[in-house]
Amino acid sequence: MRGGPSTGMPTGPSQSDIMCAKWGTHGDHPAICLVPASVQETYEEVVRAFNLSEKYRTPVMVMPDEIVAHMRERIVFPEPGEIEVVDRTAPSVPPEQYKPYDTSFGDVPPLAAFGSGYKFHVTGLNKMQDGFPTTKASIVQAEEERQVRKVEANAADIMKWEEYQCEDAEIIVVAFGSTSRSARFAVNEARKQGIKAGLFRLITFWPFPEERLLELSKKAKAFITPEMNLGMCTGVVKGCIEGNAPVLGIFRVDGEPINPGQIVDKMKEVK
Amino acid sequence: MAFDYDKYIRPGKLPHIWCPGCGHGIVMKGLIRAIDTLGLVKENTAIVSGIGCASRLPGYMDCCTLHTAHGRAAAFATGVKMAKPEMNVILVGGDGDGTAIGGNHFIHACRRNINMTYIILNNKIYGMTGGQFSPATPTGAKASTTPYGNPDPAFDIAKLAIGAGATFVARGTAFHANQIDKLIVEAIQHKGFSVVEILDDCPTTFGRRNKYKSVIEMMNHLKEVAVPVKAAEKMSPEQLQGKVLTGVLYKEEKPEYCEEYAKVIERAKK
C-alpha cells in the first residue's frame, strides 16, 4: 500500500489503498482483500488468497503495508499437505451442455479450463449464462447482483479477524497490518494501567466484519481506529455500529508508523 | 466444392456487428481457412482479443475464445499460453487496441518471443467508438477527434513489431483476400511470436471523413499501395514512395519463451 495522491511517498508505510481496492473501478463488483500483519501470516494469507480465488471465481488482493512487507521474522513452512489447497470446481456436464455462468449450479458455477475439451466464450461485457454478451436489462441486473452476492453471501467463510482481550473490553482498538502490532502493544500497556482495552484485528478488510463489530458496540464504551490514512477504516467502523459508541481515529499520513504511546494517549481521552 | 466456413463458426452467433463494406469479415474468413489448412483442433485453439470491432471476431469462432479488456489481449493470451503451452493461441485486434492502450503489452509480447500469432486488423481508426484517431491514423487524415487533420505521424506496425523483437512479421491487405490465409498459416507454423498486420478499411468512420466515395474506392486504395516484398526489391526509393510492403517482411529463429521458462522452473527445482 502506498500513501499520498499521485506518486506520494512511494517507499514509506501507508494504509491508504483499502478504499481503492474496493471502489477503484467502475461498476459494482465483489472484493476480497486480505491485510496480514506478520511474515507468517503473509505466507498463510497468500495461500488462502489463491484458495478463495479458486473457490469464488474472483480476484483476491493481499495488501501488506510497507512495514509488514519489509519485516524479517521467524517463519514455519508447513509440510506439503498440511495446508488446505482448494481447486475450482470442474464441470460435470459434457462439453456440449457446458455454460460457464450456469447459475443452476449456484452463484459460483463450475469453471472449465481452456484446453480441457470444453470450448466456450469469455468476455468482460455483461453476459448471459453461455458467456456471450447481452444488453438485456433483466439478465444484466441479475448477473451483476450474482457477482456481488457470491462474495457477500459467503462473507462468513471469507472473513477472518482476531479478537484480543475483547471479552470485557470497554475500549476496542480496531486495527490492521503493522498498525495492529502497535495496537496490541498499546492494549497490553493499557491493561497494566487498569484500562480495559481490547484489540479487534482485521485480517480480511473486505468483506468487512460489520455484524461482529455491531455486536461488540453494544457493550463497548468507545472504539479507537489508528490507521495510516485520513480515516478510511474509521468511516467503515462508524458505518456499521449504528452510533452505539464514539469512534476516535488516529490518522498518520507522514510516512511514520503509529506508535503505541499515541494509542494509549487516545484511550485516556475516552470519558 | 465450396469451402465450408460454417464448420468453424459458432452456431447462432451470426449476423456479426460489422458494417457493410468493412474488411474484418474477409480477414475472419482468411483465419478460418488457415485454421482448416493447419488442421487445428477447435478445443485446443484459443482466440484472444481486446476491445473494438476487430476484437468481436473471437465470439463468432467456435473455439476457446477470450474477449478481454481494452488492449489486454496479449497479456491474457500470454497467461493462456503459459498455462497451456500445448494450445494454439491466436490474438486478434485492431490498431488502436493493439498499439495505443495495448502498446506495452504488444511490444513486450514481441520481445519475449512467446509462441503465439497476433493478427492486427489495421483500419487506421477507432471504429467502434466513433472514429477517433489511432496511432495508425495517417498524418493529415481526418478523424472525429482531428477534424482539422491529424498532426501525429503514424506507427508502422510491422516495423514496430520487428523492432520490439517479434520473430515473424508479415503484412497483407483485406483486398488481397487469397493471401491472408497463407500469411496466417506461415505465422502459426513459425515457432515464436508472429505478427500479421492486415491493412483493412473502415468505410463508416474513416472513409466518410477522408473523401473516399465508396468501399470499392477504399479497397482499390489498398490494392494500389500494396507492393509485394519481392517486387519492391527492384523498385527505386522514389517508386516506393507512399507504398506499403506486403508479404513476409521478417523471419528469424530465436529461443521461445515457454521453453525458456520451463528451463527456469527446472533450475528452481534443483
**Is B4 domain-assigned?**
no
Total structural domains within chain A: 3
Closest-CA residue to B21 (of B214, B206, B223): B214
ipTM > 0.95? no
- Side-chain-facing half-sphere of B226: CA atoms under 13 Å: 24
DSSP code string of B65-99: EEE-STT-HHHHHHHHHHH-TTSEEEEEEEHHIII
Mean pLDDT computed over A148-176:
97
As a whole number of angstroms, the distance between CA B184 and CA B195 comes to: 9
Residue range(s) defining the domain that contains residue B192: 13-269
Residue B8 confidence (pLDDT): 97
Residue A10 confidence (pLDDT): 87
Question: Looking at the partner chain, which of A115, A118, A121 has a beta carbon nearest the beta carbon of B67?
Answer: A121
Backbone torsions φ then ψ of A189, nearest 5 degrees: -60, -45
Strand order of the β-sheet with B64-67 is A121-123, B64-67, B45-49, B88-94, B117-122, B194-199, B168-173, B244-251, B226-228
As a whole number of angstroms, the distance between CA B90 and CA B77 comes to: 8
For chain A, say whether B58 makes contact (Cβ under 8 Å). yes
pLDDT above 90 as % of chain A: 93
Contact residues on chain A for B67, CB-CB shorter than 8 A: 121-125, 133
Residue B101 confidence (pLDDT): 96
As a whole number of angstroms, the distance between CA A226 and CA A232 comes to: 10
Closest-CA residue to B202 (of B150, B126, B138, B144): B126
Residue A186 confidence (pLDDT): 98
User: What's the CA dihedral at A8, A10, A14, A16 to 10 degrees?
Assistant: 50
Residue A1 has pLDDT above 90, yes or no: no
Residue A251 has pLDDT above 90, yes or no: yes
Q: What is the pLDDT of residues A13-70, one digit of tens each?
A: 999 999 999 999 888 999 999 999 999 999 999 999 999 999 999 999 999 999 999 9
**Is B152 domain-assigned?**
yes
Question: Looking at the partner chain, which of A95, A115, A133 has a beta carbon nearest the beta carbon of B87?
Answer: A115
Listed range (A16-30, A145-159, A207-221, B244-258) with the worst mean pLDDT:
A16-30
Residue A5 confidence (pLDDT): 85
Residue A6 confidence (pLDDT): 85
**Is B7 domain-assigned?**
no
Query: How many CB atoms are located within 10 Å of the residue A66 CB?
Result: 22
**Is B3 domain-assigned?**
no
Give the domain CATH number at B231: 3.40.50.970
- What pTM, to 2 d.p., does this model score? 0.93
Residue A124's closest chain B neighbor by CA? B68
Chosen for mutation from B67, B90, B97 (greatest number of chain A CBs closer than 10 Å) is B67
Contact residues on chain B for A119, CB-CB shorter than 8 A: 42-43, 62-65
> Do residues A111 and A204 both lie within one domain?
no
CA A72 to chain centroid, in Å, comes to 23
Strand pairing of B117-122 and B194-199? parallel
3-state secondary structure labels for all residues of B166-220: CCEEEEEECCCHHHHHHHHHHHHHCCCCEEEEEECCCHHHHHCCCCCCCHHHHHH
Contact B123, B18 (CB under 8 A): no
Mean pLDDT computed over A137-145:
96
Name the stretches of chain B with pLDDT < 70: none
As a whole number of angstroms, the distance between CA A110 and CA A106 comes to: 9
Residue A271 has pLDDT above 90, yes or no: no
Distances (CA, A) of A184 to A169, A200, B63, B110, B167: 13, 9, 55, 51, 57
Residue A7 confidence (pLDDT): 87
> Do residues A199 and A259 both lie within one domain?
yes
Question: Looking at the partner chain, which of A114, A117, A122 has a beta carbon nearest the beta carbon of B67?
Answer: A122
Label residue A9 by pLDDT band (50, 70, 90).
confident
Residue A205 confidence (pLDDT): 98
Label residue A267 by pLDDT band (50, 70, 90).
very high
Q: Which residues pair with B228 in a beta bridge?
A: B246
**Is B5 domain-assigned?**
no
> Do residues A116 and A197 both lie within one domain?
no
**Is B2 domain-assigned?**
no
Total structural domains within chain B: 1
Of A28, A62, A83, which one is at a domain's C-terminal end? A83
Q: What is the mean pLDDT of chain A?
A: 96
Residue range(s) defining the domain that contains residue A63: 18-83
**Is A88 domain-assigned?**
no
Residue B154 confidence (pLDDT): 97
Smallest CA–CA distance, residue B13 to chain A, in Å, is 9
Angle between helices B257-269 and B73-83 (to 10 degrees): 50
